[in-house]
Structure 1
Amino acid sequence: MSEPWKEYEFPAKKVTWLQRDTLLFNLSIGCRADEPQFEGDPRFSTFPTYPLELVFKLDHSEVIGFYGTVGSTDIPGVHKLDPRGLVDGDRTVEIYKPLPTTLLGHDFEFRSKLIDVYDKGKSGIVVRSEDCLIDAKSGEYLFYVGQGNWGGPRGPRSDKKPCLIDKLIWFSRSKLDRKALICTASEVGKELGYGGIINHGVFGYNKIAHEMVRRLGNGDPSSMLRISAKFAGPVRPGDTLVIHLWKNGVVADGSEEVQWSAQVRGTGQECLCDGTAVIKPPTDFE
């Protein structure tokens, strides 16, 4: 069967941000007053998962809706897809180099290509793609964002098991507050049949990433090298997430691999599953 979408490359998309945007993102995912590295002191840093936001923001400087930059998707050999039926299946972020706090003095763009397309019949279509944030001047890679946009079944669960169960962590900082209002999706929640306002899945994903950096990487923004997870269910304003975390052991360069999952406290509904992350060992980051 012909697969004209294989390795199809979309036109490059410019991306821009200022320190104001960096600060707003850091605050929205729960960075606190005792983390000055995320709030503007001389060590001011961009949180490592910020590209998940930039994929949607691109070069817009104004507030935009969820569908503001998605638009219809044209894929060779596939009928036109309606973005209002788009649901995240999974996200993987790999960090090659720390992101500056502002685009000023730089020229970055996303270069995106298709990895695969699966026809699930009446259930929908699965689209797997990758977005690479690249310095357009030097060609240097900064980030890789892999994603699967699901309209069908989520597929089999991973059989991978932690070789060493070290600890179980739960925390309630994922409970939503006023800062989280910028990450709600009332339009999406209604369109996809969730009965009202939900939070964008990447919001909980980013808050969990922040807790990992804070607890396992001593707050050092360069401690996170990789993070991934599958999206399994909605999170609503007011929900508290329970995070299960297992240490898998040391990998290359002394970094540690962990597995994680997240459920909504009280209901036990899984919202993120099959999560993994690679964290560098704690430093004396001050």
Structure 2
Amino acid sequence: MYSIADLQTFVAAAKCAGITAAARQLGISSATASHRVTKLEGVLNVTLFHRNSRTFKLTDEGQMFLERVDVILDELQQAELEVGSGSAKLRGHLRMTLSPWILSRFLLPVLGPFRTEHPDLSIEFLAVDRFVPLVEEAQDCAIRVGQLADSALVAQKLCDNHRIICASPRLLDVVGVPETVDDLQDSPWVCLPWQTQFPVNDAKGRKRNVSVARSLAVSNSDMLTVGAVEGLGLAVKSRMAVREELEAGSLVEVLPGSLHGPEAPIWFVSPKESRAGRKTRAILQIARQAFRR
């Protein structure tokens, strides 16, 4: 029969993508961690990981087992707390994906007291602007910007937000202020790699797509802001992402109201299986605090 320690080791190995990293997180030897996972596979009579010298990845059965076991372990810890046999501190590992600007401008500034309160909880942020499928990439939760389409997730709105076109006043002094959406095509742009055109409203309020010539492409949203501030081109940004720059005057909005469908609310999302997870609930409260500031 397997033990709770075996299950904890399996979850750690899955989230750390390796036996050695899991052992380090749990404070045990790699041999012990490997033995626990092998024993668990033997009892279940199933292969939980594809592993060789180059690959360590959950099998389909392993992924299914992880989704159930992770929640069960979290609930077990909560039950221990409720009967008074444990401490209120969180333990283990939490993986979260979000845009770089949300991490740098909102979450990290409020994370200090939470880390002090829960020193045994390690947090891994995947800060990227691409869409990250939570289950496939073993993420516990995410903060996403824009309209949601994945009904398999539990979503809670953190705040409203809109996208705008913005530019540095220095750039506009040189190239001129765009007065119509047609002028946007002749302006220099700083873009993320996949941004080649934007939906706008024409003079009659009808939707059309404007293709732009990217004078500079950058890999993440924080660098997009820097490029715009430095006068390297116009950029489409979430208003909340450049709030400080707008207030300081280092960026100004261009053609207000010209973007079609600018609404881009900010959501906290998690897989349905992790609805009751204590770690997920705790980081949700931190996210709410961050966006109330």
* Category of TM-score, reference length = shorter chain: under 0.3
Structure with the largest fraction of strand: 1
Q: Normalising by the residue count of structure 1, what TM-score does the alignment of the two structures yield? A: 0.23
Q: Normalising by the residue count of structure 2, what TM-score does the alignment of the two structures yield? A: 0.22
